[in-house]
Amino acid sequence: MENNILKTLWGDMEVAITANGICRLQFLPYLVGDKTTKPTVFMQEITKQLNAYFCGNMQKFSLPVDLLNTTPFMKSVYLTAMQIPFGSVCSYYDLAMLAGFPNAYRAVGSAMRKNPIAILIPCHRIVAKDGSMPVSKAGLQIKKRLLELEGIAFNEQDKVLL
């Protein structure tokens, strides 16, 4: 596994890749200064696609992900979450139903809180059944910003308008 720092339009992100694809992508809660990524073609493509998304010019990624270090349950949940279209939201309950685990919405929530690949596995598109936005790893401000980017409206109580 290879760890790198990406400089994106929305801040520094840590990315880890394997021979199969991206296995970790997270916003960093701190600035890393001059530390830069290795300028491989794949790292440049990741940065290009993320920045296009952050500018509102891209809605679907074509980057491979590696979910080998997740459980079969988590993998199923993550692959299902990746099918939620740009500009849409889904509740944990609905995601559990779509993934084939109708009684496991709390476990789905737990899996999404452990999401190793931010944005590509769009945990920001998953909300509570009442529209409230549980805080993600990146924090509520990033989640709100991502939802705004995708045209999702929410009220002053931070509830998505379903």
By annotation, the residues acting in catalysis are 123
Cα atoms in the 13 Å half-sphere on the side-chain side of 123: 25
